[in-house]
Amino acid sequence: QVQLVESGGGLVQAGGSLKLSCAFSGRTVSSRAMGWFRQAPGKEREFVAAISWSGDSTYTADSVKGRFTISRNSAKNTVYLQMNSLKPEDTAVYYCAAETVPYPTDRLTLYDYWGQGTQVTVSS
């Protein structure tokens, strides 16, 4: 059974930081590339960042580049999203997902397993 469980969301002031975690389990995702997406109310789900299974390749959306960093600890089956210099426009539900391809990608259709999401709210 595949499970992806996000944690670490919350309320933070603009300029602050949060670190999201995604713990995943299940043999079919244990060696997958992983990604983070976000969805704000009334908007489509948006790519944030992705990382290869080995962790040596990452891909980050221009909107968060230089502020957000994706990483993983394969021994712990956990993927992280460090978010710094947060802005009110970063407010969204953040989702962790497992890819069907081995390289980091922003193509939503190449992700087949999703977590339940964690809310991030940035106040101005």
Each residue's pLDDT tens digit, 34-84: 999 999 999 999 999 999 988 999 999 999 999 999 999 988 999 999 999
Amino acid at site 62:
D
**How confident is the model at residue 75, as a pLDDT?**
87
Token pair recorded at residue 39: 């969805």
Separation of alpha carbons 51 and 117, rounded Å: 18
Separation of alpha carbons 19 and 49, rounded Å: 14
Do the bridges between strand 118-123 and strand 10-13 make them parallel or antiparallel, or are there none, so unpaired?
parallel
What whole-number percentage of the chain has pLDDT above 90? 84
Which residues lie across from 123 on neighbouring strands? Answer: 13
Residue 117 has pLDDT above 80, yes or no: yes
Residue 37 burial class via C-beta count within 10 angstroms: exposed 0-12, middle 13-18, buried 19 and up: buried
